[in-house]
Structure 1
Amino acid sequence: MVNEIAEEDHQESVTIAKDEIPHAASSEDDEIESGYCFDNFLKNDLIKLHESSSDYSIIRKGFFSGMGETLSKSIKIVAIHKTSYSGFSAKAQAENFQILKKAVAEKCGGDANVKYAWYGGSRDEICEILTQGFSWYTRTTENQNRYRNSVCFSAAKFSFGSVLSSKVDETGLNHLLLCRVILGKAEVVTAGDCNGRFHPSSPEFDSGVDNLSDPRRYIIWSTYMNSHILPGFIISFEAPFLRDGGTIKTRSPWLRFTTLLSMLSRRLSPSEMASLEKHYKDFQEKKITKPQLIERIKEIAGRQLSPTIFSPYTNKKLQGCSGGK
């Protein structure tokens, strides 16, 4: 079913031959049985892929290609499941996705700009997405409901961003949902642009990206979130550095700024990275203090990233005036 994960941007993600809806039946390489921790997946008619299958190998390669060499060594993929589209609602959703894809293609001159993209969340949220679709509400860090105006995805070759958004379940696993998304004609959308918006800026556009030439984030507005998104696979993995409250642990008590830049470069746009580097230069020249630098990094990177990156270093020194740390 899955042919390739290409390197080029216009073919950056998993490609389905002839753009068909995946067949409900499993192949000889697929395992119908799964472990206890995946009972919720089986209840949603998911099929566990065998490690020897081509689908498994290609998705695994795409996942690790967006992680970087260092982090890839500390992650273990436990299972990959695929949607069967055997249920009435799932089948209707897949068929509706194809109809909308053709409509957007006609609107955009023949290309619907369909991409594969990662979404990170909790296991329960992902299961709910499979059965009910994306919710109009999302849970905040204060455990309160907040009205959702959009859904943010990581591009296929930047899986690290969604890994940081995933949640550890009671079995110690994290989960990512690999979806197909209809981008159509995209416009640049910054973090501030999302406030109070639930749709594109004009009928000319269909979705948002952080950068037109090399997007790392895709924005599907809430008005389209259950029509322009089609879940396809779930990848479950062990990531020890994300445990204990979602903090990244390292052997060193020092946070190298070059390491931080490498981590954030998979999540932020080029303009945001340039802003980060400017603030760091100001810190080196003693124009701003260490707390000010950290706060500005948090503002640029997003509050959802700050616990992951900064928690181990809250009481440590952030070296910056020498040694490139």
Structure 2
Amino acid sequence: MAANAATQKKLVQSVTVRVPTQTHSSSSSSSASRRSVCSRGSGCCSVRNRIHYPSNFKRSAAPARVMFFQNGSWNDLPDHVIEILRSGFVERKAVVSVEIDGSTFLFDFMRMLQIDSGTGAQRSIAWIDENGKCFFPVAFVCEDLKDGSDSLDSPKRSIDNRVVVPGRVLGKRKTDDVDEDEVTSSIRQRIVDKSSPWPNMKLLKEGEKPYAVGSQVFLSGMRRVDPVAAVTSIHQCVRTGPLDRARYEVFQKQVEMTKVARGVANVVHAWYGASASEIRGILTHGFGGPSKVSGPQSRGVGLYLSHLSAPHLSAGRSEPDDNSEKHAILCRVILGNVEKVEAGSQQCHPSSTEFDTGVDDLRNPKWYVVWSTNMNRHVLPDCVVSYKSSVRVPAQMGRLCSIDALVSRVQKYLTPSKVEELSSLVCDLKASNLLFTS
């Protein structure tokens, strides 16, 4: 065993991999002509994660060397990472999870990708097995695992793929092109998936039932204040990464615990409106803090989500992106036992151990308030609805503040029921933009 381990350690230490700059000419070799070359101009970079190389995984022996593609060249992974990947490969695991410098990465041998489970960024991997056979993808993908910048290339490979074992040399001295069968016969699908601007989500098609349901529910509420509002896309959470699965499991456990404590979990769907950058952060890391609400609209310090029938209320908290689109997250929310939170309240936790969340109205709630300590256990994003609307987020903050100040001053002369009615009216008018017309 010790001799065998020593032998494995010496494998492919002399291997070098060079990726020359690709040149295009009319007289390309027959080998090159059989290969598909990605062209950004043709829009081929939209479904990268659908390409599979099952034959490579099935026919390959355990990898002796594993590399990742970055900055136009192949780079070796650390020895301790290769050992983990090798063990998983021997156990015939198509996907192996590895912790590297505090981040979790998925190594997908079927798709020949290294995936950052936190950001969803991907880059190609390749390996040389213990028999000296090379396994490379045809098109190389490289996304910066920090900032998401990407590049894609399909260069000609010049590889010294000798695997050094005492007494013999395995593999060929050099090959200008890796054996076609050991990569893939052709690229039948496009390479880079640009269809989703959100991490760990998939784009739904208009003909799919989840799209139809989500669009109908959203527009039925939104068109109360904006008859021309239109859904532009819907993305659904896929929960394939370990962090996404962990969040889902935490939510499910919280559902069970709430059932035990309250008799019923009281799970509902609700809307959360935010800017595109905030939504990306939520999908990647979870909710980061309470909603910023002040004045008579305030009903405590927590996460504010509007009722399923009232997406227009959350729309007032959304900001248009560079494409003039706004976005709202449809979430599952564990309410448990709810209590009414009075307008203007600065409450930041349940008033007693008998309650879990807050609402503006017990009979006809428009807003749910999930306390900050519970927001990442009681709220689970399901999908992101992107839309265009003529309802503008007010830029005239001075006027908006003056309205809040006015309501704050007059409410002391009103009965609690009138304060409630006035606050609800102001909220609706802001969402419908009526307070900002000349």
Taking structure 1 as the reference length, the TM-score comes to 0.62
Q: Cα RMSD between the aligned structures?
A: 3.1
Contact 1:209–1:219 (8 Å) recurs in 2 = yes
- Residue 198 in structure 1 maps to residue 353 in structure 2: no
Post-superposition Cα deviations, 1:5-54, rounded to whole Å, max 9, x if no partner, equal xxxxxxxxxxxxxxxxxxxxxxxxxxx9554xx43x1xx12100000000
CA distance in 1, matches of 2:418, 2:239: 39
Asked whether the equivalents of residues 118 and 177 of structure 1 are also in contact (C-alpha less than 8 Å), the reply is yes
Identify which of 203, 206, 224 aligns with 1:48: 203
* Partner residue, 1:88: 242
- What's the counterpart of residue 217 of structure 1? 367
- Maintained 8 Å contact 2:341/2:358: yes
Following TM superposition, by how much is the alpha carbon of 1:302 offset from its aligned partner in structure 2, in angstroms? Answer: 5.5
Which letter does structure 2 place at the counterpart of 1:231? Answer: P
Q: 1:120 to 1:242 in 2, by over 3 A?
A: same
The equivalent position to 2:306 in structure 1, one of 154, 165, 184, is: 154
Which structure dedicates a bigger proportion of its chain to helix? Answer: 1
Q: Does structure 2 conserve the Cα–Cα contact (< 8 Å) formed by 1:209 and 1:216?
A: yes
What secondary structure sits across from 1:85 in the alignment?
A: coil
Q: 1:244 to 1:98 in 2, by over 3 A?
A: closer
Alpha-carbon distance in 2 for matches of 1:307, 1:241: 6
Aligned to 2:207, the other structure's residue is in SS state: coil
Cα distance in 1, alignment partners of residues 428 and 307 from structure 2: 20
Q: Could you say if the C-alpha distance between residues 246 and 33 of structure 1 is closer, same or farther in structure 2, counting changes exceeding 3 Å?
A: farther
What residue in structure 2 maps to residue 135 of structure 1? Answer: 288
Work out whether 1:124 is the aligned partner of 2:277: yes
Which runs of 4 or more aligned residues in structure 1 lie more than 6 Å from their structure 2 counterparts after TM superposition? none
User: 1:70 Cα shift?
Assistant: 6.0
Match of 2:218 among 50, 60, 63: 63
Measured after TM superposition, the shift of residue 165 of structure 1 is 1.3
TM-score, normalised on structure 2?
A: 0.47
Task: Tell me if structure 2 keeps the 8 A contact 1:45–1:83.
Answer: yes
Give the distance between the partners of 2:385 and 2:354, measured in 1 at CA. Answer: 34
2:392 aligned with 1:242: yes
CA distance in 2, matches of 1:134, 1:214: 26
Give structure 2 stretches of 5+ with no counterpart.
1-191, 295-299, 398-415
Q: Deviations over 1:230-278 (max 9, x none)?
A: 011000001133278499xxxxxxxxxxxxxxxxxxxxxx9468743xx
Q: Is the 8 A contact 2:268 2:332 kept in 1?
A: yes
CA distance in 1, matches of 2:396, 2:205: 29
SS of the residue corresponding to residue 392 of structure 2 reads helix
Question: Is the CA contact 1:74–1:239 (under 8 Å) kept in the aligned structure 2?
Answer: yes
Aligned partners of 2:391 and 2:433 also within 8 Å = no
Other-structure match for 2:265: 112
Q: Which structure exhibits the higher relative contact order, with contacts defined as CA atoms closer than 8 Å and separated by 6 or more residues? A: 1
Please point out which of 229, 243, 260 is paired with 2:379.
Answer: 229
Equivalent residue pairs, number: 224
Give the greater-gyration-radius structure (CA). Answer: 2
Does structure 2 retain, via aligned residues, the 8 Å contact 1:198–1:223? no
Contact 2:317 2:393 (8 Å CA) reproduced: no
> Structure 1, unaligned stretches of length 5 or more?
1-31, 142-147, 248-269, 277-296, 314-325
Contact kept, 8 Å, 1:200 with 1:208, in 2: the verdict is yes
